[in-house]
Amino acid sequence: MYLYRCRLLYSKAIMDFYSNNYYQISPSAIVKLETKHGVDLGIYLNKVVNIDDKEFDEILKYQATTVEENIENIENSQEFLNGNGLSETNGILNLQSVQTKIMSTSDDNEDKEDKENQEKSGSDKVSKKRQIRIEGRFISIANSEDLKIYRENEEKAKEAFLVFKEEIKECGLEHEMKPVGVHYFLDGMKILFDFVADHRIDFRELVKKLAAKYRKRIELHQIGVRDEARMIDGLFICGQQLCCRRFLHQLTPISIKMAEVQNAPLNTMKISGYCGRLLCCLAYEAQQYEEAKENLPDVGTSVIYNNEKYLVAEVNVIKQYLKIKKKDSMEYILLKNDPLVFEKDKDGNIVIKKCEIYISKK
């Protein structure tokens, strides 16, 4: 079994697609893929992984039982085709809504499962499962006819997007949902309408109007603001293209704790991206900071140094020092993290036994 890593042309998401066959593909070639929504085009990212059937099944099982990168996204879909969609019998539209079930698992449960997996199969296997996200089947390299249909669909999508906006207004939903994009699939079976909203929307009337107009399966897909930013793209204050668009395989949950452990400013305006969520780059070095601070006292902890009581004012991982100062005094001492040896006395106080002074200011 071969897994080909590709970036979908429409959503810009990076995913893996399976095939029993091995193909010699040029980097950045346009390929034809089968996704959960329909047949689509993507860009081959010059990465292929060979795995056995057992490992393939394990990865699929792992994906089905853990929270994926779209933890922030609430996917609502209404599909219409013979009980799952749109059918026409004697000129009458038979509509039936299908509500997508959302799996939610706490981070604690995910961490617990990861720990169990590491004990059973090794940390390298768990890491590999996290890095692989199987979306669907790799069909073939796209031909000229596929590219022609895709370009034609892009033009139709532009017109459909204007209709989408107008229908939202007519249904009185303009203050509840924001249209993001429209996408036609190569097989012509379905049209995908992406939107952003702060909560779940009752869009049954909207779907009826769109289905009556286009006479195809209609899927309204509620995406997260991070997915919206990835689709729109842009440059951030670092001067680089948005990470979610440039290279991120999965949009993992970001917490304020990641900013705290790195001594980043806790002003959300300074550590938020275009999407309004916490910066994805906060996760890049958070684990290294946690490991570096693991054996060091927390800020605000009382320590005994040279038989005098001090408070830990700062733990600087980059410059590798521990800043301690006396209460109600401007005096402070910077101690190098290495070597730094401390232990607790019988009263529970942290006593610094061995250290090297970096700076001492009195």
Q: Which residue has the tokens 């012509």?
A: 188
Spatial distance between the Cα atoms of 35 and 15, rounded to a whole number of angstroms = 10
Rounded-to-5 percentages of helix, strand, coil across the chain: 30, 30, 40
Residue-wise pLDDT for 44-77, tens only, equals 998 888 888 888 888 888 776 654 443 333 333 3
Return the structure tokens found at 130: 């996290």
Question: b/e string for 38-61 if b means 16 or more Cβ within 10 A?
Answer: bbbbbbbbeebeebeeebbebbee
The answer to whether 352 and 341 are in contact (CB under 8 A) is: yes
DSSP string for 135-162:
EEEEEEE--HHHHHHHHHHHHHHHHHHH
Q: Which residue has the tokens 């139709």?
A: 156
Strand partners, 314: 323
Q: Model confidence at 32, in pLDDT bands (50, 70, 90)?
A: very high
| Cα end-to-end distance, the chain, whole Å | 67
What pLDDT is attached to residue 131? 66
Q: What is the pTM of this model?
A: 0.64
Strand order of the sheet with strand 177-184?
A: 177-184, 190-197, 217-222
What pLDDT is attached to residue 141? 93
Residue-wise pLDDT for 119-140, tens only, equals 444 445 545 555 677 889 999 9
Domain boundaries, the chain: 1-67+105-142, 68-104+144-222, 238-290, 302-361
Spatial distance between the Cα atoms of 22 and 50, rounded to a whole number of angstroms = 9
Mean pLDDT of 347-361: 72
Spatial distance between the Cα atoms of 282 and 276, rounded to a whole number of angstroms = 14
- Work out the mean pLDDT of the chain and round it to a whole number: 77
Closest CA to 43 of 70, 22, 12: 12
Q: What is the CA radius of gyration of the chain?
A: 27
Residue-wise pLDDT for 139-165, tens only, equals 999 999 999 999 999 999 999 999 999
Which conformational region is residue 106 in: left (phi greater than 0), alpha (psi within -120 to 50 degrees), or beta? beta
Q: Is 128 helix (H, G, I), strand (E, B) or coil?
A: helix
Residue-wise pLDDT for 270-306, tens only, equals 899 888 889 999 998 888 888 888 777 888 888 888 8
